[in-house]
Homo-oligomer: A and B are copies of this chain.
Amino acid sequence: MPVDPGTARELIHGVFDLQRVIRCLSATELKHGDLGVASQGVLRMIAEHGGRAVDLAGKLGVSAPVLSRHLAELEGLGFVERRRDPDDRRAQLVALTEAGVTVLGEIEEHRIARLQSYLEGWDEGQAAEAVMAIGQLSDALRTGAHRMRPTPSPETSPAPQTPQNQEEALAAR
């Protein structure tokens, strides 16, 4: 028994509206010194799941070249260190420097304080419900889309051939 089409429609529009509001906020806030929003996301992902670059790209849901450039930028700013993986000398192990940890902390603190002020009047339960609802939605979209893809005519085409980086991204969590 699927969700009512009207509710699905409202959810779609709600998500797009949220994205619009956030884009407007990104224009004015969400910039920290030289760091764009995307680089800030890379910084956080390194803090949480540091390690091989290729795995980070998968978790971030971006292609290898995109991550490569963000890492080059972050390394140039002194926020990230890259060293070769001793077990696989093709790969890189990525980690935050002390400066990187510091700047990420500043970014997070600033965002949290700002969100807290925007959420003035909310109670804890309301906020927790929003966290849960958004998390559930992300999971549903991830697994749903992931379950969709792996059916590229299993008989006619012998192998997918394309790297298909979305899949890794969607399977990440």
Chain A interface residues (CB < 8 Å from chain B) = 2-5, 7-25, 27-29, 41, 44, 60-61, 108, 111-112, 115-120, 122-124, 126-131, 133-138, 140-145, 148-149, 166, 169-170, 173
Contacts and interface: CB of A to CB of B under 8 A. Distances in A.
A138 B21 contact: yes
A4 B112 CA distance: 9
A173 to B, nearest CB: 8
B166 A10 contact: no
A5 to B, nearest CB: 5
Contact of A24 (B13, B117, B145): B145
24 contacts: A3-B122, A3-B124, A4-B127, A5-B112, A7-B124, A7-B127, A8-B112, A8-B119, A13-B44, A14-B135, A16-B44, A19-B19, A20-B169, A21-B138, A21-B142, A21-B170, A22-B141, A24-B61, A24-B145, A24-B169, A122-B140, A130-B133, A130-B134, A130-B137
Given A21-B170, A24-B61, 16 more contacts: A2-B119, A4-B127, A8-B127, A11-B115, A11-B134, A14-B135, A17-B173, A19-B22, A20-B61, A20-B169, A21-B142, A25-B141, A28-B145, A117-B148, A119-B144, A126-B133
A41 to B, nearest CB: 6
Nearest to A19: B19
A9 B114 CA distance: 11
A128 B7 CA distance: 7
Nearest to A169: B24
A166 B41 CA distance: 23
A130 to B, nearest CB: 4
